[in-house]
Structures are given as structure tokens and as C-alpha cells.
Homo-oligomer: A and B are copies of this chain.
Amino acid sequence: MPKGCPITRAHLPEPSLRRLPWYLAFLTTLRHERVEFVSSTRIAAEVGVEASQIAKDLSFLDIRGKTRIGYEVAALESALRTYLGFDEPHNGIIVGVGSLGSALMADRGLQRYGLDIVAGFDINPRITGTVVASRPVYGMDRLAEICRTWDVSIAAVTVPVENAQSVADIIMDAGIKAIWNFTPCRIRVRDNVAVQNTSIYSHLAVMYNRLYSNPSEL
């Protein structure tokens, strides 16, 4: 467990956790507009969540709104960022340095949200040995060693779907406890390993379907 991580974190239900980044996004917008205070009613109207639910979600943070004034924007924004782990540095790797994998290695946004990609891994000898966005790309045989050296906690999987499970097995063998799966493969993991699926191509299918479903509106 990283230093400074609030002990209450474990008690936050995951649906609440998934809403916190929405509140954070709105608070960032307000700060840019130089708004100093915001009520849970105002957040509710913007984010589309009941004000009572917002108050409940935010009660997990050690911050309270003031009657009639609401929450202090900058303080709540900062408390949310810390609570969500975005201020804590985490080391990650990218497995599969193809098009999406290289893109993620180059995405500076990840670092602003607490994830520092320390290396990429691939099986293609034309890719291994290269440097992408100032980070080295190694062969799979170096994965366990590099993860130990850098104390890597998160591995993003951006390989072709047919290799996703075998790559996940290698990642778990290296002792990594969180897999960020960008493929549509349903990875089977061991009990103490977390998977987060971010299947961007599956999301495309949902959008196509909505476009096709409302032809009269197009």
C-alpha cells in the first residue's frame, strides 16, 4: 500500500468510486472558470446524479461542504485527486507496442493521472530494442526482471486479442496484481489480481448500433 493512502479507501463502494472522476472533472472546469464554491445541487445538475447521492459519495472524503455555501472548489478538487490516487506515482508497463500500445506510451495524460509507463514489451524483434516516447521496448523475456526493478504495479495489455490470455499469464507470473486490458478478450485471472477492461473497439460497436437504431433521426 503506497504511503499517504487513506485507510478508508477500501470501504468506498465501486459505483461511488466510478462517479468520483465525474465530480472531479466538473470541479476542474469550475476552477478554470474561477468559481470558488459549489453546492452538491449544482454538481448534481451538471453531472446527472442525485444531490443526496453526491453528498453520500463525498462523505468518504475527509471534506465537508458548508451550509448555504457548499464545497470549496479547489479543496474538493485536490481531495478528490488525492483520494483517487492520481497524485500518487504508480509504475506501469505496456505489453504489445503496436499502434495502440505506442500511442499509450506517448500519452502524457497518463502521467498526470499518476501512471508512469517505465517500459514497453513486445515479441516483434523489429520493435524490441527501440525507444518509444523516451521509454525502452524490451522482449517478453525481460518482463519479470524489469517489473521487479521498477516496482511495477500495473500492466496494460495492448496485444492482438488472440494473444491476450497468454500475455496476461506472463504478467501474473511476474507478480503484477493489476491488468489494464485494452483487448475485448475476457481475460481469466487469479483470485488476487484485478482486471480493468477498457475495450475501446467494443465501444465503437455500441456507437454504430445507436447510429443504426435511430435512422429517422440521422
Q: Which residues of A contact B (CB under 8 A)?
A: 1-2, 5, 9-10, 12, 14, 17-18, 20-22, 24-26, 28-29, 32-33, 46-48, 84-86, 88, 90, 98-100, 102-104, 106-110, 113-115, 153-154, 161-162, 164-165, 177-178, 180, 183-186, 192, 194, 196, 198-215, 217-218
Contacts and interface: CB of A to CB of B under 8 A. Distances in A.
B1 A208 contact: no
B153 A211 contact: yes
Stoichiometry, as copies per complex, reads 2
A59 B134 CA distance: 49
A25 B178 contact: no
B21 A184 contact: yes
A65 to B, nearest CB: 20
A185 B25 contact: yes
A152 to B, nearest CB: 12
A192 to B, nearest CB: 4
A24 B184 contact: yes
A114 to B, nearest CB: 7
A102 B218 CA distance: 28
Given A29-B162, A84-B205, A161-B28, A1 B212 contact: yes
A18 B201 CA distance: 11
B184 A25 contact: yes
